[in-house]
């Protein structure tokens, strides 16, 4: 056997990944699923060398945010991540509008890692930790009391979770007479619309009008709703937290979310009432844009204040950091701009002595993207996990050693890219969104979407 023959024989049994310099994007496909735990749009970016990168659009966002970018990435080398990101980031925005840009950025990192045969965290400069701590978000169905929530959180601890989060806010006071004050009929109208939607045909004109009206009501920013918590309401919320702490103790960190749309004065009063319960943080008490209100809130209480899941790009975190408005930033990998931007946000926060927790209520694709970003960022507290009660969540992806979540931690994968070998189409087909059918359907209609994208004249 000649030396050349030996070389070819060896190569036949070695994964050489690809020729990165010649790699090109050829297609983008997506599928919508529900229940993982939210409505998720999963992405595949295909290449001319058979490599496929996996990404995801932020929970609840339209897949259009990703599809409109297809024409701008076709033919590009996915390993040129920063170049492509700078081209498309103008089409992202805060909250769900950042989902398309961020989801594609995740898939590009997956492709680059597969092309070069290294895990994503290594391309970010290496890792600070081998495992990522999860904080477990917990919902309680039915009649919600501090005792039932405490028992639910206790069960999370028994599964190995070392950091917890729960909801606490005006939603729990809606049915309590005298707990809230608001313009008469305002809260009743919201309840009435939800009741009507449950009885209205999907896709009908009546449904569209109801959704528009609900949008008007629910999208009033906190200072403009006129909702206030009464003394009875404060006492009920404090009693709730007291019961939770009595059940789970004070050793475990407990964060609080979903306070509701109330103004600064009520946020301060509630925060002060809860200071004694040693909460890990109070999350999204105000719209993130109101920097000075966050400064006032942070100075008025001893509980750490946290926000950030709706903020797009690192420069938009800077005002909160410069003014001392937050103790913890809380970006979502699928809104913030993706894997690298999320690391840059964490590094920026560290300069101001602020730690980072990472919001995540999505599929294992977004989860693994956040794991790699968190591994490569020093000041990370914990990564959110919202799918403990979804038995098929881990089955969405294949190729990772199971279980993905073990005793409240995720081990950082050493496989190339995100570490995901393939997606399980049988599982996806079982949970496909009923209003958006189709598994990886053709998207060629978006191949030539174009406009004058230049940001200057």
Domain locations along the chain: 16-118+436-446, 131-182+223-420, 183-222
pLDDT of residue 455: 79
pTM for the whole structure: 0.92
285 near 265, Cβ under 8 Å? no
Among 21, 9, 44, 15, residue whose Cα is nearest residue 425: 44
pLDDT averaged over every residue in the chain: 93
Query: Which pLDDT score is estimated for 156?
Result: 97
State both tokens at 127. Answer: 């890792």
Architecture of domain 16-118+436-446 in this structure? 2-Layer Sandwich (3.30)
Predicted confidence (pLDDT) per residue in 332-345, tens digit: 999 999 999 999 99
**272-281 residue pLDDT tens:** 999 999 999 9
Residues of the chain with pLDDT under 70: 1-18, 141-143
Closest CA to 305 of 316, 297, 314: 297
Comparing CA positions, the residue from 363, 335, 370 lying closest to residue 96 is 335
Tokens representing 385 are 């996990």
Cα–Cα dist 227/215, whole Å? 17
Tell me how far apart the alpha carbons of residues 188 and 444 are, in angstroms, rounded to a whole number.
46
CATH topology of domain 131-182+223-420: TIM Barrel (3.20.20)
pLDDT digits (tens, 9 = 90+) for 390-444: 999 999 999 998 899 999 999 999 999 999 999 999 999 999 998 887 899 999 9
Q: Are the beta carbons of 281 and 307 closer than 8 angstroms?
A: no
pLDDT at 3: 57
pLDDT attached to residue 9: 62
Q: How far is CA 337 from CA 93, 107, 122, 333, 369, in A?
A: 9, 12, 19, 7, 12
At 214 the pLDDT is 78
């Amino acid at each position: 056997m000649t030396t050349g023959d030996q070389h070819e024989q060896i190569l036949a049994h070695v994964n050489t990944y690809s020729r990165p310099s010649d790699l090109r994007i050829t297609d983008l496909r997506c599928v919508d699923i529900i229940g993982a735990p939210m409505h998720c749009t999963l992405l595949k970016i295909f290449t001319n060398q058979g490599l496929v990168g996996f990404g995801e659009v932020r929970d609840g966002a339209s897949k259009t945010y990703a599809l409109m970018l297809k024409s701008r990435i076709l033919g590009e080398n996915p390993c040129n991540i920063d170049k492509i990101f700078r081209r498309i980031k103008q089409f992202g925005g805060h909250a769900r509008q950042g989902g398309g840009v961020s989801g594609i950025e995740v898939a590009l990192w997956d492709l680059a890692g597969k092309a070069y045969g290294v895990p994503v965290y290594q391309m970010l400069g290496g890792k600070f930790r081998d495992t990522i701590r999860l904080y477990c978000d917990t919902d309680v169905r039915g009649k919600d009391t501090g005792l039932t929530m405490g028992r639910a959180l206790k069960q999370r601890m028994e599964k190995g979770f070392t950091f917890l989060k729960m909801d606490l806010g005006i939603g729990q006071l809606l049915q309590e007479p005298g707990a809230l004050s608001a313009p008469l009929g305002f809260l009743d109208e919201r309840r009435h619309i939800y009741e009507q939607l449950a009885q209205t045909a999907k896709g009908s004109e009546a449904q569209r009008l109801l959704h528009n009206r609900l949008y008007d009501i629910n999208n009033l920013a906190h200072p403009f709703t006129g909702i206030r918590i009464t003394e009875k309401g404060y006492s009920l919320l404090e009693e709730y937290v007291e019961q939770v702490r009595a059940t789970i103790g004070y050793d475990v960190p407990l964060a609080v979310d979903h306070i509701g749309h109330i103004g600064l004065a009520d946020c301060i009063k509630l925060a002060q009432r809860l200071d004694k319960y040693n909460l890990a943080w109070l999350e999204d008490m105000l719209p993130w844009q109101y920097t000075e209100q966050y400064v006032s809130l942070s100075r008025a209480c001893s509980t750490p204040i946290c926000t950030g899941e709706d903020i797009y790009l690192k420069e938009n975190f800077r005002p909160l950091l410069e003014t001392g408005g937050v103790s913890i930033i809380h970006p979502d990998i699928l809104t913030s701009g993706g894997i690298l931007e999320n690391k840059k946000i964490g590094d920026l926060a560290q300069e101001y002595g602020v730690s980072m927790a990472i919001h995540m209520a999505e599929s294992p694709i977004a989860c693994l993207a956040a794991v790699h970003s968190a591994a490569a960022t020093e000041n990370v507290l914990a990564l959110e996990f919202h799918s403990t009660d979804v038995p098929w969540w881990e089955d969405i992806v294949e190729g990772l050693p199971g279980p993905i979540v073990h005793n409240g931690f995720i081990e950082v994968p050493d496989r190339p890219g995100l570490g995901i070998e393939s997606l399980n189409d049988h599982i996806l087909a079982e949970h496909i969104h009923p209003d958006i059918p189709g598994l990886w359907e053709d998207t060629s209609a978006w191949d030539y979407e174009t406009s004058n994208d230049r940001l200057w004249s």
